[in-house]
Amino acid sequence: MATVETKPSDAPRAAELLRNLKSKDGVYLMYIDGEWAAASDGGTRDLINPANGEVFAKVAEGTKEDAERAIRAAHRAFYEGSWGDSLALDRARLLFRLAEKIDEHAAELSRIETLNNGKPLRETEYDMADAANCFRYYAGLATKPGGETFDVPAASQTFVVREPIGVCGQIIPWNYPLLMAAWKLAPALAAGNVCILKPSELTPLTALRLATWIEELEFPKGVVNIVVGAGPVVGHTIAASDLVDKVAFTGGTKTGRAIMQAATGNLKKISLELGGKSPNIVFADADFNTAVDYALFGIFANAGQVCSAGSRLLVEESIADKFVNAVVERAKKIKVGDGFDPSAEMGPLISRAHEERVEGYIKAGVAEGATLACGGKRLPGELGEKGNFIEPTVFTHTKPDMKIVQEEIFGPVLVVQTFADEKEAVKLANDTIYGLAGAVFTNDVAKAHRVIRKLRAGITWINTYHPTYNEAPWGGYKQSGIGRELGTYGYEAYTEVKQINVNLAVEPSGWFSS
Ligand code: NDP
Condensed to tens digits (0 to 9), the pLDDT of residues 297-349 reads 999 999 999 999 999 999 999 999 999 999 999 999 999 999 999 999 999 99
Cα–Cα distance, 303 to 358 (Å, whole number): 11
Ligand 1 atom nearest residue 306's Cα = 40
Q: Are 209 and 128 in contact (CB under 8 A)?
A: no
Give yes or no for residue 4 having a pLDDT over 80.
no
Per-residue pLDDT band for 481 (boundaries 50, 70, 90) equals very high
Per-residue pLDDT band for 85 (boundaries 50, 70, 90) equals confident
Give yes or no for residue 10 having a pLDDT over 60.
no
CA-CA distances (angstroms) from residue 150 to 56, 257, 492? 59, 38, 19
Cα–Cα distance, 282 to 438 (Å, whole number): 11
Give yes or no for residue 9 having a pLDDT over 60.
no
| Average of per-residue pLDDT across 77-89 | 93
Q: Which residues line ligand 1 (CB under 6 A)?
A: 171-173, 175, 198, 200-201, 230-232, 235-236, 239, 250-252, 255, 258-259, 274-275, 307, 408, 410
Q: pLDDT per residue over 186-226, tens digit each? A: 999 999 999 999 999 999 999 999 999 999 999 999 999 99
| Element spanning 27, H or E | strand 27-28
> Residue 263 has what pLDDT?
98
Rg (C-alpha) for the chain, rounded Å, is 24
Cα–Cα distance, 8 to 340 (Å, whole number): 10
Q: pLDDT per residue over 415-450, tens digit each? A: 999 999 999 999 999 999 999 999 999 999 999 999
> Residue 84 has what pLDDT?
80
Residue 440 bridge partners (DSSP): 281, 462
Q: Are 156 and 504 in contact (CB under 8 A)?
A: yes
CA-CA distances (angstroms) from residue 514 to 468, 503, 509? 63, 21, 11
What is the Cα 450 distance to its own chain's centre? 29
> Residue 146 has what pLDDT?
87
pTM, to two decimals: 0.96
Active site residues: 273, 307
> Residue 514 has what pLDDT?
82
Please choose from 196, 202, 255 the residue to mutate so as to test ligand 1's pocket, defined by most ligand atoms within 8 A of CB. Answer: 255
> Residue 3 has what pLDDT?
45
Which residue CA neighbors atom 12 of ligand 1 most closely?
Answer: 231
Q: pLDDT per residue over 252-307, tens digit each? A: 999 999 999 999 999 999 999 999 999 999 999 999 999 999 999 999 999 999 99
Q: pLDDT per residue over 361-391, tens digit each? A: 999 999 999 999 999 999 999 999 999 999 9
Burial of 259 (0-12, 13-18, 19+ CB in 10 A): buried
